């Protein structure tokens, strides 16, 4: 079984089954088969707490995130008409709760931002070299979350397999005041904007 604790040295075992539990501040997003968009979301104990499902026939690259019993929590979909990679986050009722955009001409250190439904900028994400890791901050510069992308070499050192075809992201949330749907939706949009070719 994949052990998410390896990313940040977290050893405690916490059993939680709610994606939005206020005590939960660590997630692992494991996207199966490279950039397909389906897979599971785990808590820091390595337990699946939600599932991602990408619709096979969707021009918008629609990814629905559900809890384990299939109830939709939120979705992430690409805007078709946009000058830059942009995604829309929607709640379980299909109402827009956020939009992401990527700054143009930032090839080596990608930068993205998250707006609310009214267009007010909430969060910014700055990637390190080639966008393997990201810092998510408020517009005032306060740290909200850190995102680490597992790569080939890291997988080898952490016990991964040459035949593990999944993209994996560890998300450590530093400020629990933010809606977890927005934060995790932002991370999924970052993956689709920076690392995937949809």
**DSSP SS3 for 6:** helix
Give residue 6's pLDDT band: very low, low, confident or very high (50, 70, 90).
Answer: very low
Contact indicator for 127, 110 with CB cutoff of 8 Å: yes
Position with higher pLDDT, 64 vs 151: 64
Q: What is the pLDDT of residue 122?
A: 94
Specify the range with the lowest mean pLDDT, choosing from 17-26, 162-171, 174-183.
162-171
Q: What are phi and psi of 98, to 5 degrees?
A: -175, 160
Q: What is the pLDDT of residue 167?
A: 76
Q: What is the pLDDT of residue 128?
A: 83
Position with higher pLDDT, 20 vs 182: 182
Model confidence at 39: pLDDT above 50 = yes
Give residue 121's pLDDT band: very low, low, confident or very high (50, 70, 90).
Answer: very high
Position with higher pLDDT, 125 vs 150: 125
Q: What is the pLDDT of residue 106?
A: 61
Q: What is the pLDDT of residue 9?
A: 44
What's the mean pLDDT in 26-42? Answer: 81
- The CA distance from 117 to 131, in Å, is 26
Q: What is the pLDDT of residue 181?
A: 93
What's the mean pLDDT in 78-92? Answer: 83
Contact indicator for 171, 147 with CB cutoff of 8 Å: yes
What's the mean pLDDT in 8-22? Answer: 55
Q: What is the pLDDT of residue 196?
A: 54
- The CA distance from 198 to 196, in Å, is 6
């Amino acid at each position: 079984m994949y052990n998410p604790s390896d990313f940040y040295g977290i050893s405690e075992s916490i059993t939680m089954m709610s994606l939005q539990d206020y005590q939960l501040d660590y997630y692992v997003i494991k996207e199966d088969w490279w950039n397909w968009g389906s897979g599971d979301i785990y808590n820091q104990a390595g337990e699946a707490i939600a599932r991602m499902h990408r619709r096979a026939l969707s021009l918008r690259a629609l990814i629905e995130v559900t809890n384990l019993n299939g109830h939709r929590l939120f979705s992430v979909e690409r805007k078709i008409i946009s000058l830059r990679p942009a995604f829309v986050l929607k709640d379980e009722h299909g109402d827009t709760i956020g939009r992401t955009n990527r700054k143009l001409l930032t090839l080596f250190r990608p930068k993205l931002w998250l707006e609310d439904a009214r267009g007010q900028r909430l969060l910014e994400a700055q990637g390190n070299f080639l966008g393997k890791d990201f810092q998510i901050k408020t517009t005032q510069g306060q740290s909200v979350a850190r995102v680490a992308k597992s790569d080939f070499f890291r997988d080898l050192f952490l016990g991964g397999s040459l035949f593990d075809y999944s993209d994996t992201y560890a998300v450590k949330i530093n400020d629990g005041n933010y809606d977890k749907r927005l934060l995790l939706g932002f991370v999924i949009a970052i993956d689709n904007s920076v690392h995937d070719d949809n």
